[in-house]
């Protein structure tokens, strides 16, 4: 049975509306998976998204190549989404011959849009998300 994908706004913190760019992406054995998002309206304000236990998969697509996806979901200045019935999770299951489905039934699909890219992240756990002002 192939269910339709549902994209829902993800607000791990309140007031995540704005014009963001991705400043940094770290994929490290020792540090986990981290994304730092900058705010065009305030250079000192950053959003740190930390998947401490790492992630199972991610793909980073230059915004021009992801335009059809972005144009449908960039609404109300929302740049953060979760995907229910994810085609990406299904694809991972397909290429792993179903192994990922049995091992990771709690897999979640997160999407972070920024001016230059669409970052999709598959993780079993919610990340820690914090505002940092320098």
Residue partners of 117: CB distance under 8 A and separation at least 6: 22, 60, 61, 62, 63, 66
Weakest mean pLDDT among 40-54, 61-75, 112-126: 61-75
pLDDT tops 80 at residue 27:
yes
pLDDT of 5: 85
Residue 1 has pLDDT above 70, yes or no: no
Separation CA 88–CA 112 (nearest Å)? 14
Structure-model confidence comparison of residues 72 and 125, the more confident one: 125
pLDDT value of residue 43: 83
State mean pLDDT over 21-38. Answer: 91
The residue-averaged pLDDT of 79-100 equals 85
78, 17 in Cβ contact below 8 A? yes
């Amino acid at each position: 049975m192939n269910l339709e994908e549902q994209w829902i706004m993800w607000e791990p913190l309140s007031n995540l509306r704005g014009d963001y760019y991705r400043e940094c992406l770290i994929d490290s054995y020792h540090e986990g998976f981290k994304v730092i998002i900058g705010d065009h309206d305030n250079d000192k304000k950053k959003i740190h998204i930390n998947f401490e236990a790492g992630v199972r998969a991610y793909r980073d697509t230059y915004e021009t190549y992801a335009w059809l996806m972005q144009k449908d979901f960039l609404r109300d200045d929302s740049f953060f989404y979760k995907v229910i019935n994810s085609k990406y999770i299904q694809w991972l299951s397909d290429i792993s011959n179903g192994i990922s489905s049995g091992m990771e039934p709690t897999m979640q699909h997160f999407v972070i849009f920024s001016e230059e890219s669409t970052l999709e992240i598959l993780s079993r756990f919610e990340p820690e998300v914090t505002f940092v002002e320098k």
